[in-house]
Amino acid sequence: MIELKNLQKTFDNGATYAVANTSFSVEKGELLGLIGESGSGKTTTLKMINRLEEPSSGEVYVNGQNVLASNPEELRRNIGYVFQGIGLFPHYTVAENVAAVPQLLGWDDNRVKLRCQETLKMVGLPVEEYGARYSSQLSGGQQQRVGVARALASEPDVILMDEPFGALDPITRAELQEEFKRIQTNLNLTVIIVTHDMTEALLMADRIAVMKDGEVLQIGTPQELLNKPEHEYVKKMVDMPKRRADRLEKLVHSS
């Protein structure tokens, strides 16, 4: 599980706060959607969890361990991370990309190989066919599947995802969302997905935290957000997918 306590981040010595006084927790096996527009502080919040950004103040606990007291490199190796814009290593093959973290952790070659096979199979890219390819030889969707496989490779129970499906076409995006949700449920993973797509959040997340100007406005289940928005902004955010869904339903029934 993940716990944030009064987390703050300022890039200008306290003149303004990118993340202000943020506290929430994510239970074991829960998928939390962290949603907001660009500049809302959602990515900064995510990066403070594995110390890609150092908090200005506050505390973060992952599985009960204070991250600020742990070695940042070891911490990152034990938390899966899926990057915005994919971030595969262009000079590594698919298999080498997936093997990167287990190798950093010092696993023996056999175990690394088995785990590569396992995770690539999980994301639908059998190692026999895709293992030797380079990312330039894959489609965008396949690249992000590798990104997910890489995050799963070290058998973490916590995974952080930074707008993982943002760059994909709608059909691929929907496929990957569903597949990832299934994997997450099967493996009972604790996940935070940063996104600006409310539909994605509503369909995937167990709970959603809405951020604006560095603060969490409301945190709750999709139903709570849809039915009892506590802020005008939250209402606006959930209204759009709601209106679209209503319109689509009418279209289906009118034919």
Partner 1 sequence: MSDNLREQLVLLPDYFQGHLLLTLISLSLGIIISIPLGVWAAQSKIVKRPLLTAVSIIQTFPSVAILAMVVALLGGQIGLVPAIIALVLYSMLPIVRNTVTGLETVADEVVEAARGIGMSSNQILTKVRLPLALPVIIAGIRTAAVWTVGVATLSTLVGATSFGNYIFTGLQTSNLVSVTVGSLAAALMAIVLDSIIGGIQWLTEQRNQKSSTRKFKQVKFIVITAVLLGGSFSAYSLLPEPKADFVIGGKAYTEQYIIAGLLATELEAAGFTVDQRIGMGTEVLYTATANGTVDVYLEYTGTVWANIMNNSHNPGRKVVLESVTDFVKGKDGMINVGTLGFQNRYALAMRKDRAQELGIVSIEDMIPLADGLIAAGDLEFFGRLEWITLRDTYNIDFAEKLTFDSTLMYTAVNEGQVDLITAYTSDGRVAAFDLQIIEDPRNSMLPYDSFLLASSRAAENNRFVEIMQTLVNQISDLEMREANRLVDVEGRSVSDAIAYLQTIIHE
> Where on the chain is the footprint of partner 1 (CB under 8 A)?
50, 52, 73-78, 81, 83-91, 100-101, 104, 134, 136-137, 150
The Cα 2–Cα 96 span in angstroms is: 29
Q: How far is CA 232 from CA 213, 236, 237, in A?
A: 14, 6, 9
Length of the chain measured in residues: 255
- Report how many helices (DSSP H) and strands (DSSP E) the chain contains, helices first: 10, 10
Task: Give whichever of 97 and 218 is closer to partner 1, judged by the CB atom.
Answer: 97
Name the 3-class secondary structure at 13: coil
Determine the residue type at 118. E
Two tokens at 10?
């300022």
Residue with tokens 């009418």: 250
Closer to partner 1 by CB, 52 or 174: give it: 52
Cβ–Cβ under 8 Å, residues 190 and 26: yes
Nearest to 62 by CA among 7, 107, 94, 25: 25
Q: Give whichever of 43 and 218 is closer to partner 1, judged by the CB atom.
A: 43
Of 98 and 210, the one with the shorter C-beta distance to partner 1 is 98
Q: Chain-centre distance of CA 8, in angstroms?
A: 20
Q: How far is the CB of 92 from partner 1 (least distance, A)?
A: 9
Nearest distance, CB of residue 87 and partner 1, angstroms? 3
CB of 186 to partner 1, least distance (A): 23
Beta carbon of residue 116, minimum distance to partner 1 (angstroms, whole number): 15
CB of residue 222 to partner 1, shortest distance in Å: 28
Q: How far is the CB of 108 from partner 1 (least distance, A)?
A: 18
- Residue that has been written with the tokens 């999980």 in this structure: 122
Q: Give the three-class secondary structure for 34.
A: strand
Give the nearer residue to partner 1 in terms of CB position, either 11 or 89. 89
Query: Closest CB to partner 1 among 104 and 245?
Result: 104
